[in-house]
Amino acid sequence: MARRDDGFLSTRRKVAWMFFGLWAVVLVMAAVRYAVHGDMVVTLAVAAAAGIDGLPNTLIFSVGSDGTDGPTDAAGGLVTGEFAARCREKGLSIEKTLADNDAYNLLRQTDGLIVTGPTGTNVCDLTMLLVK
């Protein structure tokens, strides 16, 4: 889903973190029934949520340095190890969301959007994994 350009691991004070500068790439499904926002970094965050499902003290955020993700008002998305369980409790499906290319609306419904407003610069997309 994404190509890693650079990353490193740090272990300090019993916290591990990994930081990536990347350009997220999203496969747009042919049979999309809902509006596709063109939101690559929020899709990356939602896809990562399945991989950290149930992991305590784990967080992933993915943001665009320009403060917007495609044509949306969101700079990116933030998910935790509890995110997938919260989705299930609300009757929301990560798998269906990814198949429908609708990560923006899932994160909007679960308070996972990061909204900063335009920054006036576009260096790259940034993704961080934190584990305590």
**Token representation of residue 35:** 């509006």
Residue 95 has pLDDT above 90, yes or no: yes
Q: What is the pLDDT of residue 4?
A: 38
pTM of the model: 0.76
Q: Which two tokens stand for residue 117?
A: 């407003």
When the pLDDT of each residue in the chain is averaged and rounded to a whole number, the result is 79
Query: H or E segment at 125?
Result: strand 125-131
Distances (CA, A) of 3 to 18, 49, 71, 95, 125: 15, 17, 22, 21, 11
The whole-number pLDDT of residue 94 equals 95
Residue 107 tokens read as: 């994160």
Higher confidence at residue 123 or residue 26? 123
